[in-house]
Structure 1
Amino acid sequence: MRKNVDKDRLIEFGRNLATVRKGLGVTQEELSHRSGLSLSQIARIETGAINTTLNTVFEICKALGIEAHVLFISNK
């Protein structure tokens, strides 16, 4: 059961990231350049395919000019 809950959280986090990024008018490619992360890594985070590190979350937030808590707000 825990794996399903964890996967759901990763998917929700990824959706939050994609929503915020798009709302700021930033493409995945632009975020990749700003953050120094690969385009494929950003895509995998946004789809919930990987469990990223907090350091990566902070790099993404810095690149987007947002606070980290924004990406953890549940829409449920």
Structure 2
Amino acid sequence: MKNQVHIDFLVAFGKHLKKVRKQHNISRVQLAYEIGTHEKQLRLIEKGEINTGILSIHKIATVLDLEPKALLDFRYPDTT
């Protein structure tokens, strides 16, 4: 079971991922296809409803032409 701190972190990560994805002008459907997962899985990650693995972060970063650390460079707790 996740505690509130974990949930808040997942939500903050998801918001950041969504922002970065949009900055790179790639749809959730296209990104999901490129990393070999379903759009629903990516949507749940962006909503902070599920945790993702380090390999998924690597795949996403590769498609977006970023270093994986760029996906983890977000403000937590999210004060916006």
Q: State the TM-score, normalizing by the size of structure 1.
A: 0.90
For 1:1-76, what aligned pairs fall within 5 Å after superposition?
Answer: 3-75=3-75, 76=78
Provide the aligned C-alpha RMSD in A: 1.3
Give unmatched runs, 5+ long, in structure 2: none
Work out the percentage of aligned pairs sharing the same amino acid: 29
Q: Which contiguous aligned blocks of 4+ residues in structure 1 show a shift greater than 3 angstroms?
A: none
1:6-42 Cα offsets, whole Å, 9 max, x none, are: 1111011111100000001010011012111110010
Q: How far off its partner does 1:74 sit? A: 2.6
Query: As a proportion of its length, which structure holds more helix?
Result: 1
Q: State the TM-score, normalizing by the size of structure 2.
A: 0.86
Aligned residues: 75
